[in-house]
């Protein structure tokens, strides 16, 4: 099965239903499919051939969704570009992917002079006006359908802990994820899905193709802004959205949120990074009619392998601890926790999370050695530290690379961050290890406070001592009033914080 079958199904079961709402522009599923076919024809007329890579640098829009279906309709692979990257980073990805065409929106057209002279493979650049003209003049095109094993796109990792790598995801990977989502997230033709997370990121794609499969409606905000998101949910009666934890915090803690009718919202799928219990409890109180589902995964897993469903989001009782988990394996996923020798560890023991199933990537683009290492033994080695309890719930404690070893003790930054987040003045935080002559590494916290709030480093350290063991508590704290640096997907960029500390 290919993603194009999902589009054909949407037309078949809901052709006259609304497929997209982008500002004042609306399309039915039949209209959307027609435009996708002409979009594909425009790519072919521009010289794109089957197997070529086509990149897009754009904020969220209906054009982005059309591109996701038009490129494979022309036999090409999609290469979504992180909108937060600097021009040299964009150039490196385009050249690495060997992209032959680049689509840009009006926001990024001014960046082209810093990019185009350094490109080695791109032959065609389509700005908004050029793209619209090409689509209007093109003949409709749909190549023979792709096989499940064919690569759909190359998705470059966020690079928050290391250099970006091109992840090859097949049509089968994308469809497997879509079906996993539908097994645990109620979606239907009545779904109105808001693209609030950046569309270049697999966090947003987690529901993109599922929503199409059920012929729901897609709507968009160009980029995440809590006010715009709140307004759009109210105006278009949005039912579902994907948000990373930092976005949830900004929405539910916004001073105007209680002035809006968000009662249409039925489901928030969240993930991308651990969520603090304090933020989750505030979200549950703010949106009592909304079901919260946590998803754990990564780009290499297309992207989801576990779900924590709404029924497991208890805020009291014997199962409240499950709020800290990523849930249990998706219907087609298998998960193990292993040691450094890839041997299973007992329940409750921290090891590396490994996974297998039809959602696991084909490999890294032009990186056979890294592919073999990541997929050794037939299992995707996530690089995430975690454990599994006796009921099969997976708890992610940290990136293996983010584990801090202080005085011989392992400290997981996510656990410390969760404690810090429970202080009422804290808006954002990140914990990293920094060199220390006595301890080898010390726990260092970088904290951004809420507007109008103040807190001292001593107060924060004392606060954490009431919640976690002393050796886990930060020994130094950097308190800021400005937000912490975020990736395009809304994750705190610990690489930037480490660079500031020269570690």
- Which tens digit of pLDDT belongs to each residue from 63-74? 999 999 999 999
159/413 Cα distance (integer angstroms): 18
Instruction: Kindly state the helix (H) or strand (E) to which residue 478 belongs, with its residue range.
Output: strand 476-480
The 10s digit of each residue's pLDDT in 297-355 is 999 999 999 999 999 887 778 887 787 789 999 999 999 999 999 999 999 998 999 99
* Residue where the block lists tokens 């996701």: 68
DSSP state of 76: P
Q: Is the pLDDT of residue 86 over 90?
A: no
End-to-end CA distance of the chain: 46
Which phi and psi (to 5°) does residue 154 adopt? -115, 115
pLDDT at 162: 46
Contact 175, 209 (CB under 8 A): yes
pLDDT in tens, 374-393: 999 999 999 888 999 999 99
Q: Domains in the chain, start-ordered, CATH in brackets?
A: 3-388 (3.40.50.12780), 405-500 (3.30.300.30)
CA 256 to chain centre: 26
- The answer on pLDDT for 180 being more than 70 is yes
Please give the mean pLDDT across all residues of the chain.
Answer: 91
Stretch 484-503: mean pLDDT: 80
Quote the pLDDT of residue 273: 59
Angstrom distance (rounded) from CA 327 to CA 353: 13
Q: Is the pLDDT of residue 274 over 70?
A: no
Q: Report residue 287's pLDDT band, with 50, 70 and 90 as the boundaries.
A: very high
The β-bridge relationship of strands 77-80 and 53-57 is parallel
Q: Output the six-digit token pair for 347.
A: 């329940």
pLDDT of residue 396 exceeding 50: yes
pLDDT value of position 487: 76
Mean pLDDT of 386-402: 85
Contacts of 248 (CB under 8 A, 6+ apart): 268, 270, 275, 279, 280, 283
Distance (Å, whole) CA 335 – CA 435:
34
- Local confidence band at 160 (pLDDT 50, 70, 90 cut-offs): very low
Helix, strand or coil, per DSSP, at residue 421? helix
Cβ within 8 Å of residue 41, ≥6 positions away: 74, 135, 138, 139, 140, 141
Burial status of residue 151 (CB atoms within 10 A of its CB: 0-12, 13-18, 19 or more)? buried
The whole-angstrom separation of Cα 14 and Cα 40 is 22
User: CA quadruple 276, 400, 174, 119: dihedral positive or negative?
Assistant: positive
- Kindly report, residue by residue over 434-466, the tens digit of the pLDDT: 887 667 778 999 999 999 999 999 999 999 988
Q: What is the pTM of this model?
A: 0.83
Per-residue pLDDT, 439:
73
Residues 305 and 288 sit within 8 Å (Cβ to Cβ) = no
């Amino acid at each position: 099965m290919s993603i194009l079958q999902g589009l054909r199904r949407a037309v078949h079961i809901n052709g006259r239903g609304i497929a997209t709402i982008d500002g004042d522009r609306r399309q039915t599923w039949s209209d959307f499919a027609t435009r996708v076919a002409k979009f594909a024809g425009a790519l072919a007329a521009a010289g794109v051939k089957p197997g070529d890579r086509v990149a897009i640098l754009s904020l969220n829009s209906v054009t982005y969704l059309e591109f996701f279906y038009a490129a494979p309709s022309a036999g090409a692979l999609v290469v979504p570009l992180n909108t937060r990257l600097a021009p040299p980073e964009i150039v490196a990805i385009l050249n690495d992917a060997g992209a032959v065409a680049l689509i840009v929106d009006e926001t990024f057209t001014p960046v082209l002079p810093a990019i185009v002279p350094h490109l080695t493979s791109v032959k065609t650049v389509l700005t908004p006006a050029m793209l619209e003209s090409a689509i209007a003049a093109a003949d409709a095109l749909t190549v023979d359908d792709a096989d499940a094993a064919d690569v759909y796109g190359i998705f470059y990792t966020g690079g928050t802990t290391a250099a970006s790598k091109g992840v090859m995801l097949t049509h089968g990977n994308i469809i497997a994820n879509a079906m996993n989502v539908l097994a645990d997230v109620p979606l239907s033709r009545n779904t109105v899905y808001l693209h609030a997370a950046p569309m270049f990121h697999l966090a947003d794609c987690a529901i993109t193709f599922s929503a199409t499969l059920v012929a729901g409606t897609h709507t968009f905000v160009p980029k995440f802004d809590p006010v715009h998101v709140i307004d759009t949910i109210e105006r278009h009666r949005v039912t579902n959205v994907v948000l990373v934890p930092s976005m949830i915090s900004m929405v539910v803690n916004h001073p105007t949120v209680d002035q809006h009718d968000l009662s249409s919202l039925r489901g928030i799928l969240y993930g991308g990074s651990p969520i603090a219990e304090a933020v989750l409890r505030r979200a549950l109180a703010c949106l009592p009619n909304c079901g919260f589902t946590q998803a754990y995964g990564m780009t290499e897993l297309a992207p989801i392998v576990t779900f924590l469903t709404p029924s497991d989001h208890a805020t009291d009782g014997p199962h409240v601890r499950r709020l800290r988990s990523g849930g249990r394996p998706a219907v087609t996923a298998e998960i193990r926790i292993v040691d450094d020798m890839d041997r299973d560890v007992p329940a409750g023991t921290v090891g590396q999370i490994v996974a297998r199933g039809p959602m696991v990537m084909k490999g890294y683009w032009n990186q056979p050695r890294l592919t073999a290492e990541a997929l050794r033994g037939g299992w995707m080695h996530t690089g995430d530290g975690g454990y599994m309890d006796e009921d099969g719930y997976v708890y992610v404690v940290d990136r293996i690379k983010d584990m801090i070893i202080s005085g011989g003790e392992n400290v997981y930054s996510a656990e410390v961050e969760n404690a810090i987040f429970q202080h009422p003045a804290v808006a954002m935080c990140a914990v990293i290890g920094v060199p220390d002559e006595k301890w080898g590494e010390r726990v260092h916290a970088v904290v951004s406070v809420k507007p109008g709030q103040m807190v001292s480093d001593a107060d924060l350290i004392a606060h954490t001592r009431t919640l976690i063991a002393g050796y886990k508590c930060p020994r130094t704290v950097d308190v800021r009033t400005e937000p912490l640096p975020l990736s395009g997907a809304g994750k705190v960029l610990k690489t930037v914080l480490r660079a500031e500390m020269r570690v």
